[in-house]
Amino acid sequence: MKKQPSPISWLRRVILEYLYPSRCICCKNEAPIGASTSEYVMLADPDSELRGVFCARCMSDFLTSCAARCYICGRPYSSCTCAPEAIRSAGVDKTYVCFGYDKTRRGCASSRLIYSLKSMDNKDTVNFAAHLLCGRIREVMGGDVGDAIVAYAPRRRASVREHGGDHMRETAKLLAKDLGCGFADAFYSRASGEQKKRSAVERKEAVGGIMTRKDAYKLRGRRVILIDDIITSGATLGRCASLAFDAGARDVAIFALARTIKSKKK
């Protein structure tokens, strides 16, 4: 059930928008659709997660990424459940993502979105990421997730230092609040070097640097919602899922914002 905004929150929004006009989270240039008060009232779904986020051009580009199709099942990534081998071998059969990430299309809305999230330059992006994941999780798991606990794939230590934090930690905390369930700081990564520059074999070795923290005891007997930004080889999430099961998790469900688009099977 969507709730209507109260007159006070609406008025607050009008004033804030006047004082600090919002910008599209991708291009950071144009005003997003739904930011102006007239559009806000007109939009069919005032609580839509896309409202006030993208400008018209980035929105249409983003929707293209959502419609991109998986090369295995042929369904759009937003409804594909194909898990990579590294995740299946950890005992999780399905993965759920929100859109396809095409790394060959530089400057497209989805890559700008991921870049903004990773660089932690805008808290609106973290908000949006959490809302997007929240929608997908409710779609798959239903409304009743109060007994679940949210954990996240940790960022490399060097990267945390470089960007001043872990974007997935921030996303996971917000997500847990949105879902009304617990949050666990269950893992950390000692790995150095950049994951995206590694081959599949190197990735598998590097994820050995991911360990559990004290907080991992919270996973015992729980349904764990494990999140990350992008699934490529699945090595990182596979490792986290194994560690979660070792810590006594009853079940692990994996959700990511995006899946790297591949055209052919490796």
Output 77 or 188, the one with its CB closest to Zn ion.
Answer: 77
- Of the pair 29, 89, the CB lying nearest Zn ion is at 29
Q: Which of 22, 27, 138, 160 binds Zn ion (CB under 5 A)?
A: 27
24 is a site residue for Zn ion (CB under 5 A): yes
- Tell me whether residue 74 or residue 143 sits nearer to Zn ion (CB atom): 74
CB count within 10 Å of CB 19 equals 7
Q: Which is nearer to Zn ion, 92 or 179 (CB)?
A: 92
- Which tokens sit at 70? 């998986």
25 belongs to the binding site for Zn ion (CB under 5 A): no
Distance (Å, whole) CA 262 – CA 245: 29
Q: Is 92 in the site for Zn ion (CB under 5 A)?
A: no
Among 12, 72, 93, 246, binds Zn ion (CB under 5 A): 72
Task: Assign 151 to helix, strand or coil.
Answer: strand
Q: Does 33 bind Zn ion (CB under 5 A)?
A: no
Provide the Cα torsion 212, 170, 81, 93; round to 10°. Answer: 10
Binding piece for Zn ion, criterion CB under 5 A, among 3-11, 38-46, 52-60, 225-233: 52-60
Counting contacts by CB under 5 A, is residue 50 touching Zn ion?
no
Contact region with Zn ion (CB under 5 A), list: 66-74, 86-94, 158-166, 209-217: 66-74
- Please provide residue 219's backbone torsions phi and psi, each rounded to the nearest 5 degrees: -80, -15
CA distances to 172, 216, 240 from 179, rounded to whole Å, are 10, 20, 21
> Helix (H, G, I), strand (E, B), or coil: what is residue 57?
helix
Q: Based on the shown chain and the rule CB under 5 A, indicate whether residue 82 belongs to the binding site for Zn ion.
A: yes
73 binds Zn ion (CB under 5 A): yes
How far apart CA 75 and CA 80 sit, in angstroms, is 6
- Note whether 26 binds Zn ion by CB under 5 A: yes
Q: What is the DSSP string of 102-161?
A: -TTSTT-HHHHHHHHHHHT--HHHHHHHHHHHHHHHHHHH-S--TTEEEEEPPPBHHHHH
User: Residue from 33, 80, 148, 231 that binds Zn ion (CB under 5 A)?
Assistant: 80
| Contact footprint for Zn ion (CB under 5 A) | 24, 26-27, 30, 55, 58, 70, 72-73, 80, 82
